[in-house]
Amino acid sequence: MLLETRDLTANYGQFRALFGVNITVAAGECVAIIGANGAGKSTLMRSITGVIRNEAAMVLHRGEPIGALSSAEIMKRGIAMVPEGRRLFASLSVEENLLIGGQARKAPGPWGLEAVYELFPILRERRKNPGTALSGGQQQMVAIGRALMSNPELLLCDEISLGLAPVVIRDIYAALPKIREGGAAIVLVEQDIGKALAVADRVYCMMEGRVTLVAKAAEVTREEIHSAYFGVAA
């Protein structure tokens, strides 16, 4: 298994945000994690990427415990993150933002500056601009491109459609199949259930720090999602 969490718990001080979360992601798979605000989706991402440190055995990469590693060590193993809110580096140009994504991990693969510019051609035109001077959608493209630059095995996308116009979201989602063709598995954290189910193989639904549903995206029913999302039957 490419990535696995085992009874993953996470706390913010006295407040427990995750209660024994178990998820798996196979190589090349696209997994959606849906849930309302405060369900623990972003905390799960922060735990997997080492922003929140855990017990080592709570997060496994190819069977090896990585839960206690730093963000940088986890990234170097091939787990790249598109963080919520894009979080581009304000002092860096668009091109520098992309370059820094591939600076610490030099892995062979389809992604490099040219490939990212082909995926999002607008970024080539804007490459000298400060990253934060771009529109929200373009910033999201930079954030995705930046994560791809390390040729990750696993791409974690946290709320990539949040705050963007529908037409922009369409463009961003259009890139996901091309990213999968490159071989990366994708974990998609989303509030937009329809978008997530359209591209994912499997879906996890979370509520109040627990996984309430695991299903194949093509087979899950509206009622099942409603029940898992809100905790009440439709």
Partner 1 sequence: MIWLDTLVQGMLLGGLYALFAAGLSLVFGIMRLVNLAHGDLIVFAAYLVLMGVTLLGLSPWVAAVIAMPVMFTLGWLLQAAVLNRVLGKDILPPLLVTFGLSVAVQNGLLEAFSADSRRIPAGALEGASLDLGLVTLGVMPLMTFVSAILAIVALNGLFYHTALGRAFRATSDDAVTAGLMGIEPKRVFAVATGIAMVVVTLAALYLGMRANFDPSIGPARLIYAFEAVIIGGLGSLWGTLAGGIIIGVAQTAGAAVNPEWQILVGHIAFLVVMLLKPRGLFPRAVD
Q: What stretches of the chain adopt beta strand conformation (E)?
A: 3-12, 15-25, 30-35, 59-61, 64-65, 79-82, 154-158, 185-190, 202-207, 210-216
For partner 1, the binding residues in 174-233 under the rule CB under 8 A are: none
- Give the shortest CB-160-to-partner 1 separation in angstroms: 15
Q: Which of 9, 28, 68, 89 lies at the binding interface for partner 1 (CB under 8 A)?
A: 89
For partner 1, the binding residues in 90-129 under the rule CB under 8 A are: 90-92, 96, 99-101, 103-105
The answer to whether 133 contacts partner 1 (rule: CB under 8 A) is no
Answer yes or no: are the C-beta atoms of 2 and 77 closer than 8 Å: no
For partner 1, the binding residues in 69-88 under the rule CB under 8 A are: 70-72, 75-76, 80-81, 83, 87
Q: Count residues contacting partner 1 (CB under 8 A)?
A: 25
Alpha-carbon distance of 136 to 66, in angstroms, equals: 33
The 3-state DSSP class for residue 170 equals: helix
Question: What character string, x for contact with partner 1 (CB under 8 A) and - otherwise, covers 50-69?
Answer: xx------------------
- Give the shortest CB-234-to-partner 1 separation in angstroms: 37
**Which of 70, 194, 199, 92 lies closest to 149, judged by CA?**
92
Nearer to partner 1 among residue 138 and residue 150 (C-beta): 150
Nearer to partner 1 among residue 91 and residue 221 (C-beta): 91
Nearer to partner 1 among residue 69 and residue 123 (C-beta): 69
- Give the shortest CB-182-to-partner 1 separation in angstroms: 19
- The residue written with tokens 């415990």 in the block is 65
Q: Going by DSSP bridges, is the β-strand pair 202-207/30-35 parallel, antiparallel, or unpaired?
A: parallel
Answer yes or no: are the C-beta atoms of 89 and 130 closer than 8 Å: no
Nearer to partner 1 among residue 45 and residue 200 (C-beta): 45
Alpha-carbon distance of 45 to 66, in angstroms, equals: 14
Q: What stretches of 36-76 adopt beta strand conformation (E)?
A: 59-61, 64-65
Q: Which residues bind partner 1 (CB under 8 A)?
A: 49-51, 70-72, 75-76, 80-81, 83, 87, 89-92, 96, 99-101, 103-105, 146, 150
